[in-house]
């Protein structure tokens, strides 16, 4: 067991035009029961009052270091933080979210309970929906990692592949800076936000040799508001999920991953992205269909047909579009229904009646898997 009980945590907060939420976000970090922190608040060319808010907060607490720079995008901003960080651990917090006051204390304690060096500590998180309306807002623990138990020893992601299926949620992690530097892991530097967290998530989880999962939730994530992602106005935005899936597939291939559990998890992510694209931009959108076909072309048909996490409708769509021969497996269909029933019950139990509206909203998208 390590004797270093309070190692420095470098908390990176990439900021761009979020003045409304910054005080709550930064205050939730500074209010942590774990005190040995440095907060790297990096202003990425904000045109609102974000920089003024950061400077005010920095004047109140010397642990806040404000870095002001021209707008370069989320990836470049996080990389600036990674290069400036002095801590043993790295945390990345979104500026429009906030965290519970015991988050870092629990995560560090968990990591330090093992004698071996740890690369990543990951936790669950709370989803905050309808956060713009105090009468409709509700909070529930994400179903993304439902069923994953707290690890009893350091593992690799092949033993908990569901971490690769759900939301990238890179902000629920502590990353060992030594691990990131040794593996030379940094964010791709796209303009804007552009889902730069997707490749970073894949690279870190694949390369981690000592991964811990703590089945507790401390992070409060403000979900996209209903309709806010519908009908994108540029081809680039429509294609974004498909392009990021392809880039993550390239990371898998570049690292020579053969573990079928990991490959299946990435296939499942692809189907989730497709469902979201259909919901957002419509099944008849030629860009959606083109992105789907290119994604399907890189999926192993054997893994698709044998994956009990995919419905028969999803499989039928895959084999119709690819022309690959399909074999029906009734036992896998039963396994899918059992898995769906279990997850649906847990989802409704956690989320309550608000889940009904979500199901109705996504009904049309799901119907496309015929």
pLDDT per residue, tens digit, the chain (370 aa), is 455 678 999 999 999 999 999 999 999 999 999 999 999 999 999 999 999 999 999 999 999 999 999 999 999 999 999 999 999 999 999 999 999 999 999 999 999 999 999 999 999 999 998 888 888 888 899 999 988 999 999 999 999 999 999 899 999 999 999 999 999 999 999 988 889 999 999 999 999 999 999 999 999 999 876 555 666 778 999 999 999 999 999 999 999 999 999 999 999 999 999 999 998 889 899 999 999 999 999 999 999 998 888 988 899 899 999 988 776 555 455 555 555 565 566 556 555 555 544 444 433 333 333 3
pLDDT of res. 341: 63
pTM, two decimals, is 0.87
pLDDT of res. 65: 98
pLDDT of res. 365: 36
Cβ 346 vs Cβ 143: under 8 Å: yes
How many residues are recorded in the chain?
A: 370
pLDDT of res. 16: 95
pLDDT of res. 350: 52
pLDDT of res. 368: 38
pLDDT of res. 132: 82
pLDDT of res. 325: 78
Q: How far apart are CA 370 and CA 367, in angstroms?
A: 6
Q: How far apart are CA 282 and CA 356, in angstroms?
A: 22
Q: How far apart are CA 136 and CA 96, in angstroms?
A: 19
Q: How far apart are CA 208 and CA 189, in angstroms?
A: 22
pLDDT of res. 362: 39
Cβ 98 vs Cβ 192: under 8 Å: no
CATH 3.90.550.10 fits 9-222, yes or no: yes
Domain borders along the chain are 9-222, 235-367
For residue 362, give Cα distances in angstroms to 8, 278, 328.
Answer: 43, 9, 27
Q: How far apart are CA 227 and CA 280, in angstroms?
A: 8
pLDDT of res. 327: 64
Give the helix/strand (H/E) hosting 67: strand 64-69
Q: Which backbone phi and psi does 363 adopt, to 5 degrees?
A: -60, -45
For residue 47, give Cα distances in angstroms to 68, 92, 126, 259, 364.
Answer: 12, 22, 30, 46, 38
């Amino acid at each position: 067991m390590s004797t270093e009980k309070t190692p420095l945590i470098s908390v990176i907060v990439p900021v761009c035009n979020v003045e409304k939420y910054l005080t709550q976000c930064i205050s939730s970090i500074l209010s942590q029961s774990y005190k040995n922190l440095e907060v790297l608040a990096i202003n990425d060319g904000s045109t609102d009052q974000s920089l003024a808010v950061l400077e005010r907060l920095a004047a109140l607490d010397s642990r806040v270091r404000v870095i002001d720079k021209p707008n370069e995008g989320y990836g470049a901003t996080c990389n600036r933080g990674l290069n400036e960080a002095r801590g043993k651990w790295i945390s990345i917090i979104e500026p429009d979210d906030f965290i519970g006051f015991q988050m870092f204390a629990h995560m560090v304690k968990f990591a330090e309970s093992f004698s071996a060096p740890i690369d990543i500590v990951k936790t669950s998180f709370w989803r905050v929906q309808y956060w713009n309306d105090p009468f409709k807002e509700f909070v529930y623990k994400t179903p993304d990692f439902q069923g994953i138990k707290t690890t009893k020893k350091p593992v690799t992601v092949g033993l908990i592949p569901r971490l690769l299926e759900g939301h990238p949620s890179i902000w629920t992690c502590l990353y060992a800076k030594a691990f990131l530097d040794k593996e030379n892991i940094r964010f791709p530097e796209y303009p804007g936000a552009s889902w730069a967290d997707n490749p970073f998530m894949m690279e870190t989880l694949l390369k981690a040799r000592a991964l811990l999962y703590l089945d507790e939730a401390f992070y409060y994530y403000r979900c996209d508001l209903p309709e806010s992602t519908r009908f994108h106005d540029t081809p680039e935005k429509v294609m974004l999920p498909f392009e990021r899936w392809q880039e993550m597939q390239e990371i898998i291939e570049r690292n020579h991953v053969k573990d079928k559990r990991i490959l299946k998890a990435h296939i499942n992510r692809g189907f989730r992205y497709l469902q979201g694209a259909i919901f957002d931009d419509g099944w008849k959108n030629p860009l959606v269909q083109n992105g789907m076909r290119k994604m399907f072309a890189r999926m192993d048909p054997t893994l698709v047909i044998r994956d009990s996490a995919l419905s028969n409708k999803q499989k039928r769509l895959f084999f119709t579009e690819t022309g690959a021969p399909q074999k029906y497996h009734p036992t896998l269909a039963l396994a899918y229904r059992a898995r769906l029933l279990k997850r649906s019950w847990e989802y409704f139990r956690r989320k309550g009646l608000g889940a009904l509206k979500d199901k109705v909203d996504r009904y049309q998208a799901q119907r496309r898997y015929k």
